[in-house]
């Protein structure tokens, strides 16, 4: 993200941000279009979509569904755009195998595909910053670190998989504040699922995340873990659907929804 002016991209409207990605820019989206909701994307054939919704219902922390498009639709209430072109990067899975990481999925599109927009913890990062809590991957200009844990999600039909978490280091005396701030956003993963002790989650080395980039954990800081929208992606891959399209980790859909709409009164 070194070539990107972070203060400039924070001020872009969602439509402006999506235009850049549609034009070919590939970058993690943390910090982009501040105040606008970013979403994980999972696209599945209609035949596999029911299991996905039940999986989401059973694992609401990891899989908070913000919107379900009609079968074949490329836009919806939260997106006045084209879900096939407007993300910086996608992943294409056939029978559970990653076959491509394109910047456009129009060639894969079918009329029976259902797009799920799933809440993303980037939404509450602005609230953390307002509370004076540094969001390390933003200040270090890298992608958020994500880890596959040894915790299993509740299965649903063909879908099962590990809980995937994102990690942000928080000073020990601000952990309670980080919990309070993020618990007000249940629609985007909400409160942390785990504080400290990566080993209890089966994470062997914080410096080697499964997705994204490692960040500095300073002395006096505690690693805090939130459920991550890559969780449904991992379950979808394990279930080996004939076709699945997703965002590339950290490369989210910038929607036309406002973060404040996800804030509890």
* DSSP string for 15-33: HHHHHHHHTT-----TTSS
Q: How far is CA 85 from CA 23, 89, 107, in A?
A: 9, 9, 10
- By C-beta, is 206 or 263 nearer to a second copy? 263
Residue 146 interacting with a second copy (CB under 8 A) = no
Query: Which positions from 151 through 180 interact with a second copy, judged by CB under 8 A?
Result: 156, 179
How is residue 86 written in tokens?
């407007």
Distance CA 152, CA 171 (A): 28
Closest CA to 143 of 45, 230, 29, 50: 29
Query: For residues 173-205, b (16+ Cβ closer than 10 Å) or e, as one string?
Result: ebbeebeebbeebbbbbbbbbbbeebeebebee
How is residue 97 written in tokens?
């195998």
Residue 57 interacting with a second copy (CB under 8 A) = yes
Residue 260 interacting with a second copy (CB under 8 A) = no
Distance CA 96, CA 29 (A): 25
- By C-beta, is 65 or 165 nearer to a second copy? 65
Residue 54 interacting with a second copy (CB under 8 A) = yes
Residue 102 interacting with a second copy (CB under 8 A) = no
Q: Minimum CB separation from a second copy for residue 53, in Å?
A: 4
Q: Minimum CB separation from a second copy for residue 239, in Å?
A: 16
Total residues at the site for a second copy (CB under 8 A)? 17
Q: Which residue's structure tokens are 């590939």?
A: 26
For a second copy, the binding residue among 65, 105, 201, 228 (CB under 8 A) is 65
Query: Which positions from 28 through 47 interact with a second copy, judged by CB under 8 A?
Result: 46
Q: Minimum CB separation from a second copy for residue 25, in Å?
A: 31
- By C-beta, is 78 or 203 nearer to a second copy? 78
- By C-beta, is 112 or 207 nearer to a second copy? 112
Q: Which of the ranges 1-9, 64-72, 124-132, 250-258 carries the binding residues for a second copy, by CB under 8 A?
A: 64-72
Q: Minimum CB separation from a second copy for residue 114, in Å?
A: 9
Intra-chain end-to-end CA distance of the chain, in Å: 34
SS3 41: strand
Site track 178-217 with a second copy (rule: CB under 8 A), x = hit: -x---x--x----x--------------------------
Contact 169, 136 (CB under 8 A): yes
- By C-beta, is 58 or 240 nearer to a second copy? 58
Residue 53 interacting with a second copy (CB under 8 A) = yes
Helical spans, DSSP H, in 5-147: 6-10, 14-22, 46-58, 122-130, 136-139
Can you give the binding site for a second copy, defined by CB under 8 A? 46, 49-50, 53-54, 57-58, 65, 67-68, 156, 179, 183, 186, 191, 264-265
């Amino acid at each position: 993200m070194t070539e990107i002016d972070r203060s400039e991209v924070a001020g872009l409207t969602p439509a402006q941000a999506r235009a850049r990605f549609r034009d070919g820019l590939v970058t993690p989206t943390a910090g982009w279009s501040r105040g606008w909701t970013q979403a994980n994307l999972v696209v599945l054939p209609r035949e596999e979509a029911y299991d996905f919704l039940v999986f989401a219902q059973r694992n609401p922390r990891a899989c908070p569904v913000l919107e379900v498009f009609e079968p074949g639709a490329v836009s919806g209430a939260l997106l006045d755009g084209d879900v096939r072109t407007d993300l910086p990067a996608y992943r294409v899975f056939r029978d559970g195998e990653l076959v491509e990481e394109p910047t456009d999925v129009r060639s894969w599109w079918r009329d029976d595909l259902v797009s799920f927009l799933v809440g993303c913890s980037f939404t509450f990062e602005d609230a953390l910053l307002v509370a004076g809590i540094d969001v390390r991957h933003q200040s270090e200009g890298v992608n958020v670190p994500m880890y596959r844990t040894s915790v299993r999600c509740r299965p649903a039909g063909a879908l099962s998989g590990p809980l995937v978490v994102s990690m942000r280091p928080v000073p020990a005396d601000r952990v309670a504040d980080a919990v309070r701030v993020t618990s007000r956003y249940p629609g985007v993963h909400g409160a942390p699922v785990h504080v400290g002790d990566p080993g209890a989650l089966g994470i062997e080395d914080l410096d080697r995340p499964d997705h994204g980039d490692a960040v500095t954990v300073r002395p006096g800081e505690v690693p805090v873990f939130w459920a991550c929208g890559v969780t449904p992606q991992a379950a979808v891959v394990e279930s080996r659907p004939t076709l699945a399209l997703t965002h590339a980790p950290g490369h989210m859909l910038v929607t036309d929804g406002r973060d404040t709409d996800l804030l509890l009164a």
